[in-house]
C-alpha cells in the first residue's frame, strides 16, 4: 500500500512498508533467509556499492524482511527512515556512533534503563566518549550540562523502571537551542503511546525486544531518524557533513538530505560495526507489531487497575505509576503520552529487601525475569538484579531502591493479576 498520511495507526501497524511479494504474491512478508543477493550485472553491482542506487547486496547491510520492519517502525514513529539492529543496546551505539568522537559527551537523564546507565557510564569510555548524567526535571541543570563537546542529549519518554515521564517539549527546546540532537528511547512507551518526534526528538531508539515484538521471543533494536536535524549548520557532525573517505569523498548530508543519518547508519554503521538484525528476528517483530495498539491498550488498562489496587493496600508503601493521580507526572501523561502511561511501574513494599525477594518468589502468574513488555506479566527486584551494578545513589536516582520491585503488566485478566499479588504479598509480609 502507499503510506498516505491519512491512514490511522491501526492500519499502518499492519500495512506500512509491506507489499505482496513481487515474485510470488505472498501476502505475508516472506523471511528472506538469504545472505547475498544476485546483481543484475556488473554495472548494477558498481552502482549499489557506490550508493548511487538503493538495493540489496549482503544481509549485514540490508535485507528485504528487515527493510519492511524498518519502514514500518519509521512510519509509526513519523520518521523518514530507520535502521534495525541486533538489540536495543546496539541501537543506542548505532545512534551515537555518527555523532560522537573521542572527547565528546552525551548529556543523559539519570532515569534510564539500568543497562543503559552501565553502557553510558562505563563501556562508552573505551571509545573516548563520556556521559554526563543529570536530573531531566531540572531544566537549568540540563542546560548547564551541555558544553562545546556535547554531541547528543539522551532520555527515555517513559523511563524504565520508575514510572517517570520526560517533558520532551522542554528538553527538545534546550537541545535545539544548543544545536545538539535529542535522542529519545521510546521502548517503554512505543509509538502508540508517545511519538517523540512530534515533541522535537531528532532520533528515536527502540529495544524491539520489548513491546514492539511483544511476546518475549527475540532481541532487536531500531534507530529512527526524524530527518529534521541540520547536520551542516556547524562543523560538529563531520561524519554526516564532511567528505567520507570510505566513499570517495561523498558527503552524506549533501547527497542524501533528510535521509543522511539513515544512509550513514547502513553504509557505515551496519557495514563496519555489524550489529545487524537477522531476518528471522524481523519476522517475529513484524508479527508482533501488527497487534501493537491492541496490546498497548490492554497493558495500560491492566496497569491502571493493578496500580490503583496496590496503592490502597496496607502492605504497600507507594506505587510509582504516572497513570495514578498521586504521581507527580500525572499531568505530563496528557501532554506526552495521551493514550496512557504504559504498562510499567514500581512498587515499594513494606518490609524492604527481604519482603521484595519473598514476594517475587511467591508469585504464580508473574514471572521473575529480566525483561519487560511481554504479553505475560513480569516482575523483578531491580536492586538485586538489573540495577545490581549501580551504586546505592544511582539505584535511588533510577527509582530502583532495595525496597522496590518493578512490574511489567501483561495482557492477562487484571483480576487474576490482583489475586496473585494479594496471595504473594500475604506470604512476603507475614
Ligand atoms: C531493554 C531495554 C533496552 C536494551 O535493549 P536490549 O534489546 O535488551 O538490548 C534499552 N532501553 C530500554 C528502555 C529497555 O527496556
Q: List residues bridging with 182 in a β-sheet.
A: 153
Query: What is the average pLDDT across 400-424?
Result: 96
> What count of Cα atoms within 13 Å lies in the side-chain half-sphere of residue 369?
15
Asked if omega into 410 is within 30° of 0 (cis), the reply is no
What's the chain's length in residues? 430
How much distance in Å is there from the Cα of 367 to the middle of ligand 1? 18
| DSSP secondary structure letter of residue 216 | S
* Ligand 1 atom at minimal distance to the Cα of residue 373: 15
With residues binned 3-state (H G I as helix, E B as strand, rest as coil), the percentages for the chain, rounded to 5, are 40, 15, 45
Q: Are the CB atoms for 300 and 342 separated by under 8 Å? A: yes
Residue 103 to residue 128: CA distance in whole angstroms: 6
Q: Grade residue 391 by pLDDT with cuts at 50, 70 and 90.
A: confident
Using the mean position of ligand 1's atoms as its centre, give its distance from the Cα of residue 113 in Å. Answer: 7
- Classify 289 in phi/psi space as left (phi over 0), alpha (psi -120 to 50) or beta: alpha
- pLDDT number for residue 246: 87
Cα 246 to middle of ligand 1, angstroms = 31
Separation CA 370–CA 258 (nearest Å): 37
- Ligand 1 in reach of 206 Cβ (< 6 A): no
By most ligand atoms within 8 Å of CB, the mutation choice from 154, 185, 210 for ligand 1 is 210
Whole-angstrom distance, CA of residue 383 vs CA of residue 178: 35
**Cell numbers placing 278:** 537477522
- Residue-wise pLDDT for 321-339, tens only, equals 999 999 999 999 999 999 9
In this structure, of 267-281, 292-306, 390-404, the range with the lowest mean pLDDT score is: 390-404
Using alpha carbons, select from 2, 3, 64, 61 the residue that is nearest to residue 28.
64
- Quick check: CB of 89 below 6 Å from ligand 1? yes
What are the pLDDT digits (tens) for 179-206?
Answer: 999 999 999 999 999 999 999 999 999 9
The residue contributing the CA closest to ligand 1 atom 11 is 113
Radius of gyration of the chain measured on its C-alpha atoms? 22
Beta strands 344-349; 203-207: pairing state = unpaired
Q: List the one residue out of 151, 150, 144, 152 whose CA is nearest residue 184.
A: 152
Ligand 1, closest atom to CA 219? 7
pLDDT tens per residue, range 61-91: 999 999 999 999 999 999 999 999 999 999 9
Residue 13, C-alpha cell as written in the block: 501497524
pLDDT for res 78: 98
- Distance from residue 89's CA to the centre of ligand 1 (Å): 6
Whether residue 188 has its Cβ less than 6 Å from ligand 1: yes
pLDDT in tens, 363-377: 999 999 989 999 999
Cβ 402 under 6 angstroms from ligand 1:
no
The pLDDT tens digits of the residues spanning 226-266 come to 999 999 999 999 999 999 998 889 999 999 999 999 999 99
Report whether residue 382 contacts ligand 1, using a CB cutoff of 6 Å: no
Q: What is the pLDDT of the chain when averaged over all its residues?
A: 95
The CA distance from 65 to 184, in Å, is 25
Domains, in order of start, for the chain: 9-99+181-288 (3.40.640.10), 292-428 (3.90.1150.10)
Q: How far is the CA of 49 from the centre of ligand 1 (A)?
A: 33
Residue with cell 534495525: 84
For position 34, what pLDDT does the model report?
A: 96
The whole-model pTM stands at 0.96
Q: What is the pLDDT of residue 2?
A: 53
Ligand 1, atom 1, lies closest to the CA of 207
Dist. CA 10 → ligand 1 center (Å) = 24
Distance CA 137, CA 122 (A): 24
Q: Judge whether 203 and 261 are in contact, CB under 8 Å.
A: yes
Measure the N-to-C terminal CA separation of the chain; round to a whole number of Å.
59
244 lines ligand 1 (CB under 6 A): no
Q: Write the pLDDT tens digit of every residue in 23-72.
A: 999 999 999 999 999 999 999 999 998 888 889 999 999 999 999 999 99
8 Å CB contact between 201 and 156: no
Q: What's the CA-to-centroid distance between 275 and ligand 1, angstroms?
A: 15
Amino acid at each position: 500500500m502507499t503510506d498516505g498520511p491519512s491512514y490511522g495507526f491501526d492500519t499502518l501497524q499492519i500495512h506500512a512498508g509491506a507489499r505482496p511479494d513481487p515474485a510470488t504474491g505472498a501476502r505475508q512478508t516472506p523471511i528472506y533467509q538469504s545472505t547475498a543477493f544476485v546483481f543484475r550485472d556488473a554495472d548494477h553491482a558498481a552502482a549499489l556499492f557506490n550508493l548511487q542506487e538503493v538495493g540489496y547486496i549482503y544481509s549485514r547491510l540490508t535485507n528485504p524482511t528487515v527493510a519492511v520492519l524498518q519502514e514500518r517502525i519509521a512510519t509509526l514513529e513519523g520518521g523518514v527512515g530507520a535502521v534495525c539492529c541486533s538489540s536495543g543496546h546496539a541501537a543506542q551505539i548505532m545512534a551515537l556512533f555518527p555523532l560522537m568522537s573521542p572527547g565528546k559527551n552525551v548529556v543523559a537523564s539519570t532515569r534510564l534503563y539500568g543497562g543503559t546507565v552501565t553502557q553510558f557510564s562505563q563501556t562508552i569510555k573505551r571509545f573516548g566518549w563520556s556521559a554526563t548524567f543529570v536530573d531531566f526535571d531540572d531544566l537549568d541543570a540540563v542546560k548547564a550540562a551541555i558544553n562545546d563537546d556535547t554531541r547528543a542529549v539522551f532520555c527515555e519518554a517513559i523511563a524504565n523502571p520508575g514510572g517517570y515521564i520526560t517533558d520532551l517539549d522542554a528538553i527538545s527546546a534546550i537541545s535545539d537551542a544548543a544545536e545538539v540532537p535529542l535522542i529519545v528511547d521510546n521502548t517503554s512507551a512505543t509509538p502508540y503511546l508517545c511519538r517523540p518526534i512530534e515533541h522535537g526528538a531528532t532520533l528515536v531508539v527502540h529495544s524491539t525486544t520489548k513491546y514492539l515484538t511483544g511476546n518475549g521471543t527475540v532481541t532487536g533494536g531500531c534507530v529512527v531518524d526524524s530527518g529534521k536535524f541540520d547536520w551542516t549548520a556547524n562543523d560538529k557532525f563531520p561524519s554526516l557533513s564532511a567528505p567520507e573517505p570510505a566513499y570517495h569523498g561523498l558527503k552524506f548530508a549533501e547527497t542524501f538530505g533528510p535521509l543522511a543519518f539513515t544512509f550513514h547508519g547502513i553504509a557505515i554503521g551496519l557495514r563496519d560495526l555489524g550489529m545487524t538484525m537477522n531476518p528471522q528476528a524481523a519476522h517475529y517483530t513484524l508479527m508482533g507489531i501488527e497487534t501493537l495498539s491492541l496490546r498497548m491498550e490492554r497493558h495500560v488498562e491492566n496497569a491502571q487497575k493493578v496500580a490503583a489496587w496496590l496503592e490502597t493496600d496496607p502492605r504497600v508503601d507507594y506505587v510509582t505509576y504516572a497513570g495514578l493521580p498521586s504521581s507527580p507526572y500525572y499531568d505530563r501523561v496528557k501532554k506526552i503520552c495521551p493514550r496512557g502511561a504504559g504498562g510499567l511501574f514500581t512498587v515499594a513494599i513494606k518490609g524492604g529487601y527481604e519482603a521484595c525477594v519473598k514476594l517475587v518468589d511467591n508469585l504464580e502468574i508473574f514471572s521473575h525475569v529480566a525483561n519487560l513488555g511481554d504479553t505475560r506479566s513480569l516482575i523483578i527486584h531491580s536492586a538485586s538484579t538489573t540495577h545490581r551494578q549501580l551504586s546505592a545513589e544511582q539505584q535511588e536516582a533510577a527509582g530502583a531502591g532495595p525496597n522496590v520491585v518493578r512490574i511489567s503488566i501483561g495482557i492477562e485478566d487484571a483480576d487474576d493479576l490482583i489475586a496473585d499479588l494479594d496471595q504473594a504479598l500475604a506470604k512476603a509480609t507475614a
